[in-house]
């Protein structure tokens, strides 16, 4: 009698916001998980609850260096994702995307295993097409302050597709749009975490511009489901494929919802728009619907309520 062994999965950036939820999900699905992270923006706390799981292993590792482990699948999520973090050391950000992709693709090639890249809606830059479909090539400033992230991620996509064309690797590229939920970094300057933390602390909520710029917010569980479905597709499905929530809200509407759900009396303050901040961003998820049978299910109010609970608890613990 043969026993099938669990699928062994490497998650780079596994101690981060999305990575830690992916580790949870993979373990729940019966996989063995190696989580590799250099803890730049991720924390041990994000995966502390997995410490005693025999199927979970945490490695301190920087993906700009090669890694040799034996696995059956790779999810490459390592990269700081918010402007405050990726602009902190922009050269390192590009290295993480580009050298990280080369190292993880090299590992995937050596092992002949599928590899999924956490790409981003930022590859579309400040888009001139709404909503964005995967065949839109983007409108990206190559020399601005966001370029280390945007161009790094674009180059990583190029590498993924060249490894596919040149070496026949099984690749999956997900273009992730704004995702939120528990375990976001409380001080990453991202709009959901910033608004929720300010509201809970009764501090002013800073809205950039007049708040009419729109965003689409995907709840983390929906996103992770999309990544799992993408990894499970046949070899011919490579992406790039948008994953995000197509419901569009203005930043001002988000602020108002956060105020309502927290019951906070925080005032709204308006400040100048940061450089290269996109005016509108909304995914077209028709391809994900068609190829993955996927679409987001969590309404903004429900996801925000869970996120608010998390930050409320975190802020109480931090005193
Ligand atoms: N959350 C979103 O809305 C969103 C949107 C688009 C794309 N993404 C992508 O998804 C991935 C995860 O994002 P997140 O929101 O969880 O951010 P995060 O900052 O919480 O997670 C990134 C993780 O990567 C780790 N990391 C950074 N540099 C590393 C390196 N050189 N070596 C090893 N680990 C390193 C960090 O410590 C962190 O744990 C990123 O690649 C990001 O670009 C996220």
Q: Are 218 and 178 in contact (CB under 8 A)?
A: yes
Burial of 165 (0-12, 13-18, 19+ CB in 10 A): exposed
pLDDT of residue 145: 92
Which residue, chain included where needed, has tokens 């964005």?
A: 132
Which residue, chain included where needed, has tokens 């950036």?
A: 13
HSE of 30, CA atoms in CB hemisphere, 13 A: 4
Residue minimizing CA distance to atom 17 of ligand 1: 81
pLDDT of residue 3: 65
C-alpha 265 to ligand 1 mean position (Å) = 32
77 vs 238: CA distance, rounded Å:
17
C-alpha 4 to ligand 1 mean position (Å) = 32
Q: Are 255 and 300 in contact (CB under 8 A)?
A: no
User: Of these residues, 149, 163, 180, 219, which one is catalytic?
Assistant: 149
- What tokens were used for 103? 């190292």
**Three-class DSSP category at 238:** coil
190 vs 168: CA distance, rounded Å:
37
86 part of the active site: no
Question: Measuring CA to CA, which residue among 91, 132, 102, 113 is closest to residue 34?
Answer: 113
- What tokens were used for 209? 């511009």
Tell whether ligand 1 has an atom less than 6 A from the beta carbon of residue 231.
Answer: no
Percent of the chain past pLDDT 90, that is, above it, reads: 89
Record the pTM.
Answer: 0.96
C-alpha 2 to ligand 1 mean position (Å) = 38
In tens, the pLDDT along 34-79 reads 999 999 999 999 999 999 999 999 999 999 999 999 999 999 999 9
| First-to-last C-alpha distance (Å) of the chain | 56
Residue minimizing CA distance to atom 30 of ligand 1: 62
Q: Which atom of ligand 1 is nearest to the CA of 179?
A: 3
pLDDT tens series, the chain, 319 aa: 456 889 999 999 999 999 999 999 999 999 999 999 999 999 999 999 999 999 999 999 999 999 999 999 999 999 999 889 999 999 999 999 999 999 999 999 999 999 999 999 999 998 888 899 999 999 999 999 999 999 999 999 999 999 999 999 999 999 999 999 999 999 888 899 999 999 999 999 999 999 998 889 999 999 999 999 999 999 999 999 999 999 999 999 999 999 999 999 999 999 998 766 667 778 999 999 999 999 999 999 999 999 999 999 999 988 7
């Amino acid at each position: 009698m043969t026993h099938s062994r669990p699928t062994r999965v490497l998650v780079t950036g596994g101690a981060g916001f999305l990575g830690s939820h992916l580790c949870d999900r993979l373990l729940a699905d019966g996989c063995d998980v190696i989580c590799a992270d250099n803890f730049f923006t991720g924390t041990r706390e994000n995966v502390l609850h997995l410490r005693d799981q025999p199927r979970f292993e945490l490695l301190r590792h920087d993906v700009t260096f090669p890694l040799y482990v034996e696995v059956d699948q790779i999810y490459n999520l390592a990269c700081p994702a918010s402007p405050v973090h990726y602009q902190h050391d922009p050269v390192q950000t590009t290295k993480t995307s580009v050298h990280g992709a080369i190292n993880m693709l090299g590992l995937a090639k050596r092992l002949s295993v599928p590899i999924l890249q956490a790409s981003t809606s930022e590859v579309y830059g400040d888009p001139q097409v709404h909503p964005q479909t995967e065949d839109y090539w983007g409108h990206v400033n190559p020399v601005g302050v966001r370029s280390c992230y945007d161009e790094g991620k674009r180059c990583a996509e190029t590498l993924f597709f060249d490894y596919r064309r040149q070496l026949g690797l099984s690749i999956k590229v997900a273009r992730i749009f704004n995702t939120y939920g528990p375990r976001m970094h409380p001080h990453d300057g991202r709009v959901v975490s910033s608004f929720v933390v300010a509201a809970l602390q009764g501090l002013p909520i800073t809205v950039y511009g007049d708040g009419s710029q729109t965003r689409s917010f995907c709840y983390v569980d929906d996103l992770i489901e999309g990544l799992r479905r993408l990894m499970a597709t046949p070899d011919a499905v490579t992406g790039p494929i948008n994953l995000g929530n197509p419901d569009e809200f203005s930043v001002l509407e988000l602020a108002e919802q956060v105020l309502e759900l927290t019951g906070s009396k925080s005032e709204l303050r308006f400040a100048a728009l940061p450089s290269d901040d996109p005016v509108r961003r909304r995914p077209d998820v028709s391809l994900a619907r068609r190829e993955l049978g996927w679409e987001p299910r969590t309404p903004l109010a429900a996801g925000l309520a869970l996120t608010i609970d998390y930050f409320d608890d975190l802020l109480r613990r931090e005193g």
